[in-house]
Structure 1
Amino acid sequence: MLKGNIQYVLSILFLGLWHMQLSGQGDETENGFVKFFYPNDQVSSEGMMRDGKPDAYWRTYYVTGVIKSEGKRTNFLLDSLWNFYNQAGELTEQISYKIGERNGYSNKYIYNNPQNPGQPTLISSELYVMGKKEGSSLYYHSTGELKLILFYKDGKKQGLSREFSKDSTLITVVQYKDNYVTDRERVNRTDEGGNKQGTFRDYYENGRIKKEEHYLDNQLHGYYREFDGKGDLLMAMRYERGTIVEEIDEDMKELLDMKSTFDQKGRLIFTGGYIEGVPVGIHRFFDTTGVVENAYLYNELGQKVSEGIIDEQGRRKGSWTDLYTSGETRAKGSYLNNQRSGTWTYFFQKGGIEQKGRFERDRYMGIWNWYYPNGNKWREESYFNGREDGMFVEYDPGGNILTKGDYIGGEKEGEWIYMVGDHKETGSYVIGLREGIWKYYYPNGAVKYEGFYSQGNPDKRHKYYYPDGTLKEEQYYVMGIREKNWKKYDQEGNLVMTITYKNNEEQRINGVKIKLPESDIKLIR
């Protein structure tokens, strides 16, 4: 059964068919290829008719002659992929159909991405099964970064949704049940000074919580928890202003067996807790003067997850080793005054360095390097006081540069180079915003695109080229607003379309006003 969502598809066609039937011309259009026309003799739609109804492949057009939609029908019902276009002939939506229902992914595109003006940017991708949303639907920022993940079951929002900032940081989690919000939480937020505040959380791909932390003024404050992919708790500790608090839950106190060991002179050399013989929490070892010389940290399953010094005030100090629950080394480094300090090295579970760099007062400092599992360098960047400052280089697994540039105070600055898919991008930033001339290049070195930016906005004339250097498209902006004539050319250099803009609105296409009435459609025999 055809639903309301197909009003996108052939609304003009149905008007034309209705007009045709009222005119008593149905006998002549029972079968075969037909065309419908606007009053200006421009084709409005065309396709095959069978038994007086549209079937097989159909196209509809704007009054200017620009294609509006195209797709096929099977046994009169919408089928396979349908494409929809704006009045400039740009693809804006793709919908997959089966037996007249949305079935598969429906994608929407926009063309106002300041990073790639005039080119398609995916803005949403929704999965349908027999007319209803199902599974994960993805939504994107206008600049292309993932913004929101929603999960649907039988057409209704269900379970956990996640919202991301433009730098890919998770910032909001919402729990749904049958389309209704049951819980909403802001996470991974910092204040104006860059200090962590509130809940910080990481998730596994299956949506389960991987790690949960609570911060107050950039210090751990509250419970710190780690979970496995099944949702089982691996480790739990409570902090107050960055200091571990040795506090046992009331329901566990009766189960906890605290043990102490003394040497022959009666001096305490060990303390630790057990539940039914399983070590839990902090286990401390003391020297002959009563000072903690080492400690083990166990999760509630009795797995050792860290080793180092935790003094009796709960402060970490000296050399530390963090472990995977299966026993492999996860990280090595040092603490000073309960904050990470000096060189820290992080490892993949299967071995090999994953990340290495230096901390000062628990903040990134100096050069940090990230690696692929094969040992090749993935990323190299410089920090000052926890913010990017200095050079940044990213490599592919084969060692080729993907991205290169500089940061100042956490913002991109100066000349940057990107390798994006099949092309290279070069240009400059000022305080994190594009500024001046940007150029894209084909693999053969020919210019693919060039345009001017002002304070991050496309400005003045922008040009696109075919691989052989022939002009493909001309655009004009005034501080991000589309203005004047935009022109498109074929590969032979012939002008094929002119779109006139005023204050970001389309006024004319090929000299024709775009707001001509489309409802008055006639069939020309």
Structure 2
Amino acid sequence: MNKSIIFITLLFCNSVFAQNYFTSYYDSAKTILKEKYQVIKKKRKEIKHGTYEIYYENGKLWQKGLFVNDSLDGYWIDNYIDGSINQEINYKNGSLEGITKTYDITGQILQIEPYKNNLLNGKLIIYYTNGILMEESEYNMGILNGKTISYLENGKIRAIRNFKNGIEEGEFVEYFENEKIKEKSFKVKGIYDSLFTGYYKDFKDGDVQKKCYYKNGKLNGLFTGYYPSGNIMMECNYINDNIEGQYILYFDVNDTLNLKGGIKETGLYKNDTKTGLWKSFYPNGKLHTIGNFVNNLLDGEWFIYYENDVLKQCGTFLNGTEVGAWNFYTKSGKVFYEGKFIDGKKEGTWLWYYDNGKIWKEIKYIGNSIQYPVKTYDESGKCIESFKQEEDNK
């Protein structure tokens, strides 16, 4: 009795799941095969079950793998149009499971991806097209967790990052191609936070280029720049990514003979904009320039000095443009030439002088263009030359 029941059951199963083969073609003459696969009938519905193959129109195998009850299962391959392998993929019950490998058209491996239940899980490895390792990262059920190491094409480490629940967290270190550290920083919830240190590339390892501080992804606090010598280059303060307050630029010790590390330029910032009185200095500490900024533009009277404290030139700016009378002096303090600007263009009569104060040359301008004739005088004040434009162009 039991044997009869088993026999009837087997016959029933073979009838319900009887396999058929399906094929399709690119052409109506059915000479160019497109795909072939096995199907079974289950609950009056045909489903893929068994080997599946699809081909390019040139006859090369495109994909091959296994279906189980209409779901991708087991080992699959995906090829380029020339028949070379593109991917090796593993499935289980329709989901990615195990290792997936991706290749370029030459057969060089590009990526190794570990999957579990259709999610990246384990070490993801990416390669350059020359086979050199590009990046290694750790995933936990589809989420980046742990250390990610990126490499340069020469095989040297480019960066080391840490992730927590898919977001950068903790120390970040980046390297130059010569293996020297480029940057050290910290990230909280994916954004910069606390100390950031940048380094020089072409000097001895550990030469700091800048130090600054972040809070909630924005520059906040003291920003210090350094020369390759290690001496301070500049100092300023940031508030929410904007320079605020005193700005000081220094000379390098190696660039100064009489004043080591002296101030080169100083002034005020407000909301990341130059404002108020600004000064610059020579390496010996003597004043070089002094004047005001308004909204990042030169404004008001500006004075420029020679290194011996003698005034070199002075004049007025309005919204960054020269206006009004401007005077220029020799190193001995005598007037060299003078004239007037309108909206940044020379206008009217400009005069050049001998050391004795007599006029040497006279040029008239309209809108920065010379109006001929141009006159020159000897030291007694006598006009010795008056030339026109055609003479000037000879």
Letter aligned with residue 377 of structure 1: L
2:196 maps to 438
Identity %: 21
Q: Which of 1 and 2 has greater Rg?
A: 2
Listed as ranges, the matches of 1:267-282 within 5 Å are 270-276=21-27, 277-280=31-34, 282=35
Match of 1:448 among 176, 201, 209: 209
Cα separation, 1, equivalents of 2:215 and 2:61:
55
Cα separation, 2, equivalents of 1:346 and 1:397:
19
Q: 1:303 offset after TM fit, Å?
A: 4.1
Listed as ranges, the matches of 1:208-247 within 5 Å are none
Residues 327 and 299 of structure 1: CA distance in aligned 2, closer, same or farther (over 3 Å): closer
**8 Å contact 2:219–2:240 — kept in the other structure?**
yes
Match of 1:512 among 285, 291, 299: 291
1:58 maps to none
In the alignment of these two chains, the number of paired residues is: 256
Cα separation, 1, equivalents of 2:209 and 2:189:
26
Q: Deviations over 1:84-106 (max 9, x none)?
A: xxxxxxxxxxxxxxxxxxxxxxx
Residues 323-332 or 361-370, more deviating:
361-370
Cα separation, 1, equivalents of 2:94 and 2:152:
36
Match of 2:249 among 478, 488, 491: 488
Letter aligned with residue 66 of structure 2: I
Is 1:412 aligned to 2:168, yes or no? yes
1:295 maps to 52
Residues 420 and 521 of structure 1: CA distance in aligned 2, closer, same or farther (over 3 Å): farther
Match of 1:503 among 263, 271, 276: 271
**8 Å contact 1:413–1:430 — kept in the other structure?**
yes
Letter aligned with residue 361 of structure 1: N
Q: 1:337 offset after TM fit, Å?
A: 2.9
SS in 1 for 2:228: coil
2:385 maps to none
Unaligned runs of at least 5 residues, structure 1: 1-266
TM-score, with structure 1 as normaliser: 0.45
Q: Deviations over 1:398-426 (max 9, x none)?
A: 32111002101111111110024676100
Letter aligned with residue 51 of structure 2: N
Letter aligned with residue 499 of structure 1: G
How large is the Cα RMSD of the aligned pairs? 2.6
Q: Deviations over 1:335-356 (max 9, x none)?
A: 2232222111111221232111
Listed as ranges, the matches of 1:121-160 within 5 Å are none
Cα separation, 2, equivalents of 1:474 and 1:461:
7
Cα separation, 2, equivalents of 1:357 and 1:421:
27
Cα separation, 2, equivalents of 1:283 and 1:505:
70
Cα separation, 2, equivalents of 1:484 and 1:456:
21
Q: 1:357 offset after TM fit, Å?
A: 2.3
TM-score, with structure 2 as normaliser: 0.59
Q: 1:505 offset after TM fit, Å?
A: 2.6
Letter aligned with residue 22 of structure 2: T
Listed as ranges, the matches of 1:105-120 within 5 Å are none
Residues 301 and 312 of structure 1: CA distance in aligned 2, closer, same or farther (over 3 Å): farther
Unaligned runs of at least 5 residues, structure 2: 1-17, 254-260, 280-289, 300-317, 327-337, 339-351, 353-394
2:182 maps to 424
1:479 maps to 240
Q: 1:285 offset after TM fit, Å?
A: 3.9
Q: Deviations over 1:188-243 (max 9, x none)?
A: xxxxxxxxxxxxxxxxxxxxxxxxxxxxxxxxxxxxxxxxxxxxxxxxxxxxxxxx
Residues 504 and 352 of structure 1: CA distance in aligned 2, closer, same or farther (over 3 Å): same
Residues 412 and 291 of structure 1: CA distance in aligned 2, closer, same or farther (over 3 Å): closer
1:382 maps to 138
2:224 maps to 463
Listed as ranges, the matches of 1:53-64 within 5 Å are none
Residues 283 and 499 of structure 1: CA distance in aligned 2, closer, same or farther (over 3 Å): farther
2:37 maps to 284
1:338 maps to 94
1:308 maps to 65
Q: 1:368 offset after TM fit, Å?
A: 0.8
Q: 1:301 offset after TM fit, Å?
A: 5.5
Letter aligned with residue 96 of structure 2: R
SS in 2 for 1:350: coil
Residues 270 and 495 of structure 1: CA distance in aligned 2, closer, same or farther (over 3 Å): same
Letter aligned with residue 446 of structure 1: D
Letter aligned with residue 461 of structure 1: L
Cα separation, 2, equivalents of 1:488 and 1:302:
70
Letter aligned with residue 502 of structure 1: K
Q: 1:495 offset after TM fit, Å?
A: 1.8
Letter aligned with residue 437 of structure 1: L
**8 Å contact 1:485–1:498 — kept in the other structure?**
yes
Cα separation, 2, equivalents of 1:291 and 1:405:
44
Say which structure, 1 or 2, has more relative contact order (CA 8 Å, 6+ apart).
1
**8 Å contact 1:463–1:475 — kept in the other structure?**
yes
Residues 473-482 or 320-329, more deviating:
473-482
Residues 356 and 389 of structure 1: CA distance in aligned 2, closer, same or farther (over 3 Å): same
Cα separation, 2, equivalents of 1:275 and 1:376:
40
Is 1:369 aligned to 2:125, yes or no? yes
Letter aligned with residue 64 of structure 2: E
Is 1:401 aligned to 2:157, yes or no? yes
Letter aligned with residue 455 of structure 1: N
SS in 2 for 1:514: strand
**8 Å contact 1:286–1:294 — kept in the other structure?**
no
**8 Å contact 1:488–1:497 — kept in the other structure?**
yes
Cα separation, 1, equivalents of 2:136 and 2:213:
29
